[in-house]
Amino acid sequence: MTAATTTGTLLGYARVSTGHQSLDAQADALTEVGVEPARVYSDKLTGTSTREQRPGLAALLDYARPGDTIVVVGIDRLGRNAAEVMLTIRDLGERGIVLRSLREGIDTSNATGRMIAGVLASLAELELELGRERRAASRAARKARDLPIGRPRALTSDQIRQAEALRASGEPVPVIAETLGVSRATLYRTLAQNG
C-alpha cells in the first residue's frame, strides 16, 4: 500500500442490507464529518449480492480518484463478507484513495491506518486461500469416494432413458419436460449431453 494524501474530494458510502432499513442514520453520520449530501453514494440491498449488483458502490469506485477520501460509518458497509471488504480496501490503497471508517477509527492517510488496513487485507487473502484449500480437499475426498462433484443432476439415469425414448417416439420436448418435472432448457441440455 502506498501513502495516500487527502487532497481530493470527500466521498461517502452507505449501505443497508434489507429494504425496510433506513440509510438516514448513516447519511447523517457522513454529512456530520463533512461529506456533502450530493457526494453520498448508497445501496439498499435485499438478499445476497455481489459487488456488481451494487450500483452505488460501483458508481463511487468509478468516480473516486487518487487523493479522494471515501468515508464509511463502518468497514462492514464495503461488502457482505470479510474477504470482499478487505479486497476493496486493498484496491483503494493501490489506487491512492484514502479510506476512513468512523466506527473502527481507520484512516489510511496515516501510517497506522495503512498498517491496520494492510493487516486486514492480509487476513482476507488468508481467508480466501483457506477457502480454496477447503474446497479442493472436499472435491478430492468426494472424487476418491467416487461421489458426484458439483450440483446434483436434475434427472436420474432412468429418467434420461425415459426422456430419450419419449423423444424418439415423437413426443414434444415441452410435454416430456412437464412429465418429468424439469424445465425445457434442462431437458434440451440433458438430451444434448447424452445424445
Catalytic residue list: 17
Amino acid residing at 20: H
Which has the closest alpha carbon to 11: 74, 62, 77, 60?
60
Distance CA(86)–CA(117), nearest Å, equals 8
CA distance 156 to 181: 12
Please, is 190 exposed, middle or buried when counting C-beta atoms within 10 Å of its C-beta (0-12, 13-18, 19+)? buried
69-72/40-44 β-pairing: unpaired
| Beta-carbon-side half-sphere exposure of residue 1 (alpha carbons within 13 Å) | 29
Give one word for 105, left, alpha or beta, with left for phi > 0 and alpha for psi -120 to 50: left
